[in-house]
Structures are given as structure tokens and as C-alpha cells.
Amino acid sequence: MNASAHTAPRETRGRLLERFGLLLCLLLLVLVLSLVTDRFLTVDNLTNVVRQSSINAIIAVGVMLVILTRGIDLSVGSVLAFSSVFGTTWLTQGGVPVPVAILLSVGAGVVLGLTSGALVAYLRIPPFIATLGMMTFARGAALAYTQGQPVSGLAGGYRWAGAGELLGVPVPIVLLALVYLLGYLLLEHTGPGRSIRAIGDNPEAARWSGLPVRRVQLLVYGISGGLAALAGVILAGRLNSAQPTAGVFYELDAIAAVVVGGTSFAGGKGSLSGTLIGALLIASINNGMNLLNFPADLQAIAKGAVIILALLLYRQLRRTRPGRAVRAPTPNENPEPHPS
């Protein structure tokens, strides 16, 4: 080691842990599951894990954007249910083509999301309350719209979204990749994305800086609703039916993925890669317990415990980072513009 910069290695290690600590947790889990089951580490099963995680991971992107602005979206599970029965009813009874049905479904999700957003941004209802109301409202609407009956017998094209393949890759995984790519572009390379982080970092200063705070709030809740609906399309396609009771507790899985992924409820800080790893972590836990034949009730208990443990472990790893000392510039520092 270079003695002239004796603090550098420690800092580098801290930063590495901060950045990759979560990935380490995931790899550790994969390792353990590979050792205790013989079926976990197979291409088929791993593909399956990613496919299963896709619904939660896609919802989590929207929820993360909301949390970045210091909000919360509890309505995603219910929005998923309503938008999916809405779109599929138009498909089976309205006779609209599959792409139109999918657009109607996603559109319904966006409208519900924008409604929550308007409540938060313009009527100043706390996000927790506004989306709690939307959660109940959308669930009720889904049940009323279908009289409690599932919508089944979907056209092949609709099922393709949940169960099909594109060039050998399951469509949900393609959608997952697409959503994360667009999310990354939004967050790191656009004006609204920068505003999202700024509002979360200091809403008051954002207002004083002339940022369109309300429009951005509207945007994140709208995206959250739309992505929940997209997840609903995948779910209905996979099950070949849309259930008004689908998506119960999905908001909690999504929040867990976001928070395990390192996004802070204090707003502003968080990365999409963290959220994706968080979602994969949760899916791996589910998958592993299925492979190990855990009874369902024990699975819930174990999942809760593992989520909390993962969070504690991650925090511990981050804490090894030395303080908040001013970082001296290092000569080989990457001169690339660094978003935020």
C-alpha cells in the first residue's frame, strides 16, 4: 500500500462496502441456498427467481420514486388489482384488441396514481393517508367492477405478457429490464429525475429554487400507479385471469425491496440497482423456502425476519465507512460528470 495516503484504502473499502454490501448479502444467500438445496443453482431455477421477482421489482421502481420524494405509496397492490380487472374486462367483454386492453389497464393505473398524487401535491394530504385511502378505494372499485368474480379466458396475446418468451427470454424479464433501463434514464439523466432527488433532499429548498415540486409529485405517483398496472398485466397474463383480490400486501413487498435496497425514507438517497437487488433478495428467499418445503405460515415469519436481518446487516456494513470527513481529491478520480 502506498504509505503517503494511509487513509485511502480504508475509505475505499468503506465505499466499496457501501456500494456492494447489498450485493454481497444477495450472493451470500445464493451461496447458502446453493449448498442446502441441489436445485437452486440451476439456470431454470434462477430464471424462475428473476421471473418471479419481476412483478415486485417493477412495482418497487414506482414505489422507490415516490419514497425518494419523501412520500409513500400504499395503494399499489389495489391499483394493480383494479387496473388488471379493468383492462381484461374490456378484452373479454368489450372485445378490444390486446394492445388496447393493455393500454387501458396501464392507463387506469396511471389515472389512479395521478389521483393519489393530486391529493398529495395539491390538497396537501399526507402521502400515507392519501394512498391508504386509494388502497381501500381501488380495492373496492375492483370488487364492485367485477362483482367479486375473476376475469378469465384471456386472449393469447395477453397471456404472452406474463408467460411468453421473446428471443428465449421470458417476457416479464424483458419488461423488467426495460423498466429499469427507463427508470435509470429518468433518475440519472433527466431534469425531472434530478428534481425528484432534490425534492427528497430538501422540499423547501426545491420550492425556493423554482422547481416544479407539485408536478414532480404528480409524476412519481402517476408512474407508481402505471407500473403497478404493468405488473398487473404480467400477473394476469401468467395466471390467465385477473383477480379483483390480487395484489394484497404487494405494497409491503415493494416497500421492503426499496428499503432493503438502501433507499432512505428521509428522501433523496437511493439507487435503482439497490432496489433491484432488494427485490431479487426477497424473491430468492421465497424461492429457497419453497425448495426447502417450508410450510406457508413459517415462510411468512422467516421472510419477515430475513428482511429485517438483511437491513441490519446492510446498515452495519455501511457504518464501517469512516465518518463524514471531507474527502480529499484523489488524482485518479474519475473526471466523468457524476449525476447528483
The nearest distance, CB 70 to another protein, in angstroms, is 12
Looking at the Cβ atoms of 206 and 277, the one nearer to another protein is: 206
b/e burial code for range 281-304 (CB count within 10 A of at least 16 → b): bbbbbbbbbeeeebeeeebeebbe
Tell me which residues touch another protein (CB under 8 A): 7, 11, 185, 189-195, 197-198, 201-202, 204-212, 268-269, 322-329, 333, 337-340
What residues have CB less than 8 Å from 241, skipping those under 6 apart? 88, 150, 151, 152, 153, 154
Looking at the Cβ atoms of 11 and 18, the one nearer to another protein is: 11
d(CA 170, CA 164): 6
Per-residue cell: 299: 415462510
The nearest distance, CB 10 to another protein, in angstroms, is 9
Q: Residue 225 burial by CB count (10 A; 0-12/13-18/19+): exposed, middle or buried?
A: buried
For residue 207, the tally of other CB atoms under 10 A from its CB is 13
Angle 162-167-173 (CA atoms, 0-180°, nearest 5)?
A: 40
The nearest distance, CB 5 to another protein, in angstroms, is 10
Looking at the Cβ atoms of 319 and 327, the one nearer to another protein is: 327
The nearest distance, CB 162 to another protein, in angstroms, is 31
The pair phi, psi for residue 255, each rounded to 5°, is: -60, -40
Query: Could you write out the DSSP letters of every residue in 140-189?
Result: HHHHHHHTT--EE---HHHHHHHH-EETTEEHHHHHHHHHHHHHHHHHHH
The nearest distance, CB 251 to another protein, in angstroms, is 26
Looking at the Cβ atoms of 159 and 197, the one nearer to another protein is: 197
Looking at the Cβ atoms of 295 and 331, the one nearer to another protein is: 331
Looking at the Cβ atoms of 19 and 303, the one nearer to another protein is: 19
Give the C-alpha distances (Å, rounded to integers) separating 71 from 111, 136, 303.
Answer: 18, 18, 25
Looking at the Cβ atoms of 124 and 338, the one nearer to another protein is: 338
